[in-house]
Amino acid sequence: MPPPDFDYLPSTVTRSAKLLVTGPFGVGKTTLVGTVAPLVLRMDEAMTEASLGVDDLRGTPEKTTTTVAMDFGRLHLNESLVLYLFGTPGQVRFRPLWEGLADGALGALVLVDTRDLDRCHDVLDLLEEYGTPYAVAVNRFDDGTDYPLHEVRQALDLAEATPLTTCDARDRQSCVGALITLVEYLSARRLEPSP
């Protein structure tokens, strides 16, 4: 069966949300968006010698492409809610592009890799700077260590209210679960009384 027309939205859709899928280079953002959204726009380019010494391939030595603009996918979370997912580039040099993608986003799902949690601080700082609410999902890599979530929370210095979960960017159910965690968090924040 061919995929549905991208412009088509069922009449039952009454709400939509723009969300970022972000994190450092090589953490699985493109994989996650492609896993959950059947209609994806990818803007990847082959990595060249110019990235040698700039892009850290220690955790992903087989990586041959990198996102240079964005990944885009649309996920119908239920019959009335559609999520527009914008995967960001992971390198700091693409910050101006990230800023444009963040405009109008309700929140972000930050993917992290336990093999190098320190690389996540730039992304978390950027979200804090822009006041973008976020949830964090530890992407499970086959050769990564499964630390208890309270240790990951402490290492990332996350606020207690910040949702922290796990996923495998190759597994649709766990990725959708991480996105649902983010959506529930954003919904709860909207219902909180203003200070």
For the chain, the domains span: 15-43+68-191
- The Cα 121–Cα 65 span in angstroms is 23
Q: What is residue 85's predicted lDDT score, i.e. its pLDDT? A: 93
pLDDT greater than 80 at residue 11? no
How large a percentage of the chain has pLDDT more than 70?
Answer: 73
* pLDDT band at residue 143 using 50, 70 and 90 as cut-offs: confident
What are the tokens at 171?
A: 């597994």
- Can you give the pLDDT at residue 152? 96
pLDDT at 42 over 80: no
Tell me: the pLDDT tens digits for 152-178?
999 999 999 999 999 999 999 999 999
For 15-43+68-191, which CATH superfamily applies? P-loop containing nucleotide triphosphate hydrolases (3.40.50.300)
Per the prediction, the chain carries an average pLDDT of 81
pLDDT of residue 113: 94
Mean pLDDT of 135-141: 96
Confidence of residue 193 (pLDDT cuts 50, 70, 90): low
